Structure 1
């Protein structure tokens, strides 16, 4: 009888120690799987469920042990008060360090995550802005080249067929409007997806200055509805 009472506490301690070590190792595996997500992503959910099950078993064992202590207190079993005092002493002795470690850990993780997200979001927005700018520049240069090719071909247009030719080129380019201007703001021909009642806008002075240097103008201009349009103005080469 004496040997049985001696073995049972050691058996409980051994089981709880083994359970604690198993939980610690499983948590280590979860951390490793999180770092190597490309290789162990399929096992992460199973490790999480396994940890939850182990924690549930540990909680049940602790609750069962506390229930036994309360039962001994109620029945005034020998050594019950001493056991209760020892348990409470260990609880309060470990509570303060655990709270301190938990508070510093939460503060460290929160500040680290905030800094990580701030840096990554700022970098992502900067990269997205640079990528959008490069994409817009490439698209504007593509429109400029297309407009210059059409301007070079207009030298072969007759006044009678200019509107039809411009309409065909506009549809091929995907442009909203294509207009051929002459001297003194004269409109030779125009084509627009807005219909025949659309009035073309004559190039501004800064555009004409750039054209006088034999350079095509390309830029963004706001529309009436607040959207931006790419406007290209190209010089028609002289016929030799």
Structure 2
């Protein structure tokens, strides 16, 4: 039985630890709501399911324990009132700081989110973005001017002269590639790459800008996160100003400028996203804290119920033990719960009952010994020819033998416990004997001898009386 109880206790402990760990994992995963990722959206269902199951289990345990407490309280079970007071104190002590921290945390988070996304931060990010765009515009404007210079120098170049000028223009600038287009085809191409890839014809946007404005410039993002400046300008005849084609060049952007541009743009987009999700963030944080508060409160209530039962159970056993001892059951033993103050009290109670049991056994044996001696004395008195009568201080008959009854003419053995004075009122011989004895006792004489002359109907009787005080 004890082994099964230990196995059950160990199993419940393991399940409780696993449940707590699973709840903590789910709660930590729940905090990922601030990231707004698809991974959280997929996990949200089972996270809420785990917390809901945990809340349902705690509620069922709490309801069951509270029902038992109310039933014991109504039945006036010893210890139920103490346990109720203990639970109330523990829950109040645990819930007060929890509620305070919850209110402070919600207020702090809401104000913090508003401060993160206030107007100054948004304006600062907007100004930083404008500054980055301005620097980028200056850089692209300079590159466009270079390409326009390329177009002027290439206005009269043809054939081999075009290839030579393209190489000279590229090497004399920071251009990575320079391409000349005309009549919807590539007229010339020069690249800094030793194994250049074939140039692609400009897209519709570039062609539209060239037809409308005669120029085009843009910062194009690359796969590695860097930026390159793409600039194009129309090539016109120096004599007729007729558009002969256009030149397109690709320039590298300074690494630091690319990095800063990416960082500013990412930060600006993130601030915009957070501003859009401000209310969702507040709701998510509040929901998370509310869930933590609810589970913490339920756990504290169940902890109060559990530990109050653990603390009150030894006291209830002690109360049952004291009642058993009051009924005379000195063999009662209370199991020792632990090596603490209550365990010491239980041990002292068990030691007390053990000593009381030994004292009770000694008293019982002494009483049996006295009873045996009394029976022996009665046997001796019954066989004596001399009459013997013992009296209580109030002159009630304690013992009398058969000889005394025969001498005094009264069956004294049947009147044990009766007053000898009242019995002597209707008995002649006994009345004379009681009169002499009462007179001696009233004078305070405890040790005396006297020859008493008793007058009876059949003549006189001489009675030799001796009185002595019994010990105790």
Q: Which range, TM-score by smaller chain?
A: 0.3 to 0.5
Structure with more strand by fraction: 2
TM-score (norm 1): 0.47
- TM-score w.r.t. structure 2 length? 0.26
